[in-house]
Structure 1
């Protein structure tokens, strides 16, 4: 029954992808969907891609290992959605409409009049997207190996094959419509698991009492002796509240809304639905209690916590729906990252830098977009066969790359006229290098800082951005010129 429901769900999203194929006309419709969607579709696309397999699988596993401190990620990410809409949504949508922007590097080149800024940020987006996509694939493989009863490699191949059909064929149009279905399934699945699991463990008070008996640090906001201490708490604020503005797979959705006035409703819907889906993380605590009671075996890996708990304690029909919800989270973010990575190569590097903005025939640019998307899928699949880290930490590292490379040059730059091209180049480059370099040093245990590596890289890139802007010559920018044409309200 679990297998049947899972297969039916996958067939539905494949069908949407194939149906959407006939609506693809050019690069704009492939990557932005033609900017024609209402607030519900955009909002659910934002919350769905924010949650991801990293959220459903990775963070559930981290809750199992570390307890309530991990929930601060959910609280901060919910706040981050509001902050992103408040700061970026309106200006990004208006700039995109005025200058025909399709990607974040598109906006940044217009802002700083610099191909170098476009190139550096495109590479940062591509690098972070590949790392985050590995986290999605690992989550997908872990989920399907439980559902299908096959080894990880075969499960991964099956999941990626299905993903390939509907992403390569349908582009952003199929992505947004599947996000609608996926987010509905995710919300319902999260509520079922939260309520059902809470009844199993005997209510919130009993849950907290038993978890506290295992490790008192697990019921605190942050650990006094564990790995998620006060500095990690501070890091999460930087990465998930401020850093949400630098997540290209999320903020690129702002391009797609039909009217700017719809953004306020999309903001409330996105934050609310994300907060509801985060209830699934309680599975980590439920599993900890059930293992301690001897009612289930300890998972061999934290990444298997969610699928094993669901399989053990829910009716096959319910379990099938919940597995579909988890696959929905994974698929939703996977499609977003694949399109973001592909657009960085096709639009930002090939067309705008290599071809120097040369117009490409519609059929050729659409075909190229699909082939590059397919190439990114193959590359990330090969890298994910033996991924280097847990889903949760792998996703966190990729968020750090986006945060440090993009937030200062984008969020500060589109408001601060004094920001300069040289500052943007150095800020994005330093953010990219330090976010990767510090993470490698941490994994190799050569240098393990108290703050998260992404948060440190963000501070470095922000300080350099502001400091260099103040000591370099001010420059005019097109985005601050008076409007010469009527824009949508």
Structure 2
């Protein structure tokens, strides 16, 4: 089952290798994604391996308290589709047909100095190296757990497959594999709790069994020892939702959708997928507490879904369900590789070295960048004791604080200036990096919260101290406002 799945994914990469004609095709698929593929691709690349590993692992260790992360993510997903998607699609197309986020920032603020493009590309490179490595870690743990091979061998197999089809097919290969991977993830995350609850004798019997282990497992505001979850803890969990507005691999889907009219349909599909999947993931973790005979300790809790599947199903069905974990890993890692590679190509190579490079040359530079970034991420992933959720949390906060406030205000505040955008990105990104190094007291607050607050303040202060945007920028902003209302 694993081999069939892996061959199918690489076949998709090969198909789109022959359909890729220029950089726009490789980076954004020529802006031709329909609503179904856009929504499924966005959510599959969003949720990553932590939907079937990190979140169930958190629920296994803390019970219903993990639901606050799910609630924050569901709210963030909705607001991102509702507030950002359509307007970003319109603005990026209207403002110089931007292909990447750095490209958009440069065009939006008519930045001839290239400073916005370069600084945003630097942060993309920094945080995506960590984010991609989390996917490789998840893939390594999967192969190692299922087939009993060493972590290093498992890590190498997963990384090679992801790199091959991303290298070959670019954005369309990534999105179409994400589409099928999203379906697989949904089936797996829903099927397992339904079957386990049925095997245990129904919902009421299952709830009683969980209560017998520890009544606090079903209490969303209590820790397992009976103490109340701190306000900082709840805010930190809900704050995951704030990260959506700054995730380049998700925003790229909004930029690539066929038309802004497709956004509403895509939003409905995405929200249905997200709410059901997140709820099921939390339930899986809690079911693992009563289903598994051998307790899982520490980061091994992230293997709860895989171990349950191994014990419950025959190899064919189990192979399909476990391939869904691989799908979750691959659907995010491939997106991150592609965004990072496109940023290196568009925002470094083309801008600083080869302004007149041909499309064919740029596509091959992107492919080479995919391979180089993958090697670095692979190196970072060599520690098998790494926590998937921990790595994702850091990268998620980094992107959320660096780009989230800048994206929102650039779309909706006409007075924002280039200096404000620069200050927002730098202050937000650096706050996350510094805050992460501090521990204790207020510093237990998830780093995305102070990062976003500092970024917002910096954008407002530096924009208002700066001269007003010129007439060209004002006119373009007004046109976007008009088109957003009409479409």
The TM-score with structure 2 as length reference comes to 0.92
Deviation (angstroms), 1:154: 0.3
Kept after mapping to 2: 8 A contact 1:89/1:251: yes
- Matched residue, 2:342: 343
- Matched residue, 2:379: 382
1:186-233 deviation digits (Å, cap 9, x = unpaired)? 121122112012223444444444434444443222345779632222
Q: Give ranges in structure 2 of 5+ residues lacking alignment.
A: none
- Matched residue, 2:413: 416
- Matched residue, 1:285: 286
Q: How does 1:278-427 map to 2 (within 5 A)?
A: 278=278, 279-291=280-292, 295-298=293-296, 301-352=300-351, 354-355=352-353, 358-386=355-383, 389-427=386-424
- Matched residue, 2:77: 81
Kept after mapping to 2: 8 A contact 1:134/1:387: no
Kept after mapping to 1: 8 A contact 2:55/2:281: no
- Matched residue, 2:250: 250
Range that drifts further, 113-122 or 255-264: 113-122
Matched residues in 1 for 2:128 and 2:204: separation?
A: 40
Q: Give ranges in structure 1 of 5+ residues lacking alignment.
A: none
Alignment RMSD:
2.4
SS at 2:49 equivalent: helix
- Give the aligned length: 476
SS at 2:98 equivalent: coil
Kept after mapping to 2: 8 A contact 1:67/1:218: yes
Kept after mapping to 2: 8 A contact 1:111/1:414: no
Extract structure 1 runs of 4+ deviating beyond 6 A.
Answer: 485-488
1:86-129 deviation digits (Å, cap 9, x = unpaired)? 22111211122221111111111122233222222222222221
Range that drifts further, 110-119 or 332-341: 110-119
Alignment of 1:135 with 2:134, yes or no, is yes
Alignment of 1:273 with 2:268, yes or no, is no
Matched residues in 1 for 2:393 and 2:229: separation?
A: 13
Deviation (angstroms), 1:423: 1.8
Alignment of 1:463 with 2:464, yes or no, is no
Alignment of 1:437 with 2:441, yes or no, is no
Kept after mapping to 2: 8 A contact 1:90/1:263: yes
Kept after mapping to 2: 8 A contact 1:69/1:220: yes
Matched residues in 2 for 1:201 and 1:434: separation?
A: 47
Kept after mapping to 2: 8 A contact 1:167/1:335: yes
SS at 1:54 equivalent: coil
Kept after mapping to 2: 8 A contact 1:223/1:230: no
Matched residues in 2 for 1:34 and 1:10: separation?
A: 26
Deviation (angstroms), 1:252: 0.9
Range that drifts further, 406-415 or 275-284: 275-284
Kept after mapping to 1: 8 A contact 2:140/2:154: yes
Alignment of 1:69 with 2:65, yes or no, is yes
SS at 1:53 equivalent: coil
Distance 1:219 1:262, change over 3 A: same
Matched residues in 2 for 1:134 and 1:201: separation?
A: 37
Matched residues in 1 for 2:384 and 2:416: separation?
A: 39
- Matched residue, 1:239: 240
Alignment partner for residue 466 of structure 2, among 463, 472, 481?
Answer: 472
SS at 2:435 equivalent: helix
1:302-344 deviation digits (Å, cap 9, x = unpaired)? 2222211211222322211110111111110111110111122
Q: How does 1:116-195 map to 2 (within 5 A)?
A: 116-195=115-194
Kept after mapping to 1: 8 A contact 2:26/2:363: yes
Deviation (angstroms), 1:290: 2.5
Matched residues in 2 for 1:163 and 1:307: separation?
A: 20
1:324-377 deviation digits (Å, cap 9, x = unpaired)? 11111111011111011112211122223x14x823211110110100011011
Matched residues in 2 for 1:486 and 1:449: separation?
A: 43
Matched residues in 2 for 1:392 and 1:95: separation?
A: 33
Distance 1:10 1:82, change over 3 A: same
1:37-58 deviation digits (Å, cap 9, x = unpaired)? 2101111101111211122211
Matched residues in 2 for 1:120 and 1:201: separation?
A: 54
Distance 1:226 1:31, change over 3 A: farther
Kept after mapping to 1: 8 A contact 2:90/2:483: no
SS at 2:210 equivalent: helix
Distance 1:314 1:100, change over 3 A: same
SS at 1:14 equivalent: helix
Deviation (angstroms), 1:465: 1.6
Distance 1:154 1:227, change over 3 A: farther
